[in-house]
Chain A
Amino acid sequence: MGVISVGQIEIRPEEVKIETPIVIASDNAGYELKGHVIQYLETSGVKVIDCNPEEGVARHYPEWAHKAAQEMMNGNAKSCILICGTGIGIGIGAMKCPGVYGVRADDSVQVRIAREKLNVNMLSFGQRVSGFGPALDMVRAFVCTAYDPRYKEADVIREAEKRYLKKEDVTE
């Protein structure tokens, strides 16, 4: 894995506004970018759990999504970053699981708004869509934006989930 050359701004410990550790997973289409994300977070001292440290493991994106969601459901992780070709499939898979509220994003503005208003605990993006510069910017926004409890939208999406999924949110 090469050194990050775009001068990503390191995340200082006091800037971390999301619960950690962050579980990270990708299918083979997102494997390389996952490496950049992990390197960025670990360099910044943010704790991560890597779901698939070995490249080339033949699993489908819903399986990786489920694995990451299970780490959250059993309390090992509080949030996740998921990467596939577009970030869509793996994000859909995770959101089928209780307690996962995600933003699939194109840029950091979207991530900031979703963290602030919805208290999202999942970020997904696509290695085929986003270069590692914008991708790491999204990671920074995800990690460094706090939820503002004045926004009730976060409660609304969690209530909506209860109408469709069996289990209560066990990540909170």
Chain B
Amino acid sequence: MKIAVGADKYGFALKESLKKMLEQEGHEVIDCGTLTPAETEIDKAPEAVAEMVAAGKADGGILVDETGAASSIIANKVPGIRAAQVGDLYSARLTKAHNLANILCFGSAVTGPQTAEDCVKVWIETEFMYGNHSIRLDLLKELEERYGK
């Protein structure tokens, strides 16, 4: 898979370790920054990753900040994005199976690196379940058409 990753200063270290894991697993990683743990705007990486995923230039995205909230707010405003903050394996599996989440968000203040790593692996492995869940994705799309630019 081709996966875009991004973080702010709080998420930099976790982003780096997830990137390393993904590369070891044979995935192609596109790093949308920040490339140093210095102060950055919190919107830069989420917008870059979300636009890349929405445009089909990446198969999925991973964002890390302090709580996962800023990343998921910004990414979810982008049409075509279903960004899920997760901190446990069940949610990582369900959000792919039920929501077809195309971006995972982590909060470095609440989720440790090994949990995050396992969440990413489970999210990649899990298949979307279709059925009623497809109806719900269509309803999310209707909201995007109604409010999106």
| Interfacial residues, chain A to chain B (CB-CB below 8 A) | 60-63, 65-66, 85-86, 88-89, 91-93, 95-98, 101-107, 109-110, 113-114, 117-118, 120, 126, 128-129, 153, 156-157, 159-161, 163-167
> Does chain A have a CB within 8 A of B140?
yes
Which of B47, B73, B144 touches A102 (beta carbons < 8 Å)? Answer: B73
Neighbouring A residues of B94 by C-beta, 8 Å: 85-86, 88, 128
In the assembled complex, the Cα of A25 lies from the Cα of B82 at a distance in Å of 20
Name the A residues within 8 Å of B86 (CB-CB). Answer: 88
Closest approach, in angstroms, between the C-beta of A163 and any C-beta of chain B?
8
Instruction: Please provide the chain B residues from 100 to 149 with a CB less than 8 Å away from any CB of chain A in the complex.
Output: 101, 107, 109-111, 132, 135-136, 139-140, 142-144, 147-149
**Chain B positions near chain A (C-beta within 8 angstroms):** 41-43, 46-47, 66-70, 72-74, 76-79, 82-88, 90-91, 94-95, 98-99, 101, 107, 109-111, 132, 135-136, 139-140, 142-144, 147-149
Chain A residues positioned under 8 Å from B136 (CB to CB)? 60-62, 89
- Using A101-B73, A118-B69 as known contacts, say yes or no to A107 and B110 having CB atoms under 8 A apart: yes
In the assembled complex, the CB of A114 is this many whole angstroms from the nearest CB of chain B, namely: 4
**A106 near B149: Cβ-Cβ < 8 Å:** no
Contact A165 B77 (CB under 8 A): yes
How many Å from the CB of A110 to the closest CB on chain B?
4
Give the A-B contact count at a CB cut-off of 8 A. 146
Tell me the minimal C-beta distance from A127 to chain B in angstroms.
12
In Å, the complex CA distance between A60 and B139 comes to 8
Chain B residues near A109 (CB, 8 Å)? 109-110
Instruction: Give the docked Cα–Cα distance between A167 and B135 (Å).
Output: 25
- A129 B90 Cβ-Cβ under 8 A: yes
- Contact pick for B148, options A101, A153, A159, A165, CB 8 Å: A165
Q: Which residues from chain A contact B101 at a C-beta distance below 8 Å?
A: 88, 92
Please, which residue of chain B has its CB at the minimum distance from the CB of A107?
A: B110
Report yes or no: B72 in contact with A95, Cβ–Cβ below 8 A.
Answer: yes
Interface centre among B68, B69, B140, by most chain A C-beta atoms within 10 angstroms, is B69
Which residues on the A side are within 8 Å of B132 (C-beta)? 60
> Taking A92-B99, A160-B77, A166-B148 as contacts, is the C-beta distance between A110 and B107 under 8 angstroms?
yes
Within the complex, the shortest CB–CB distance from A52 to chain B, in Å, comes to: 16
A40 to chain B, nearest CB (A): 22
- List the B side residues contacting A164 at CB < 8 Å: 77-79, 148-149
Interchain CB contact under 8 A, A157 and B43: yes
Asked if residues B99 and A88 are in contact (CB atoms below 8 Å), the reply is yes
A88-B86, A104-B84 known; A95-B67 Cβ under 8 A: no
- Contacts A86-B84, A106-B87 aside, 20 further interface pairs with beta carbons under 8 A come to A85-B94, A88-B86, A88-B94, A92-B84, A93-B140, A95-B72, A96-B76, A102-B69, A103-B69, A104-B85, A106-B88, A110-B68, A113-B67, A114-B70, A118-B69, A157-B43, A157-B73, A159-B43, A160-B77, A166-B148
**Contacts A96-B147, A104-B84, A165-B147; A110 near B73 (Cβ below 8 A):** no
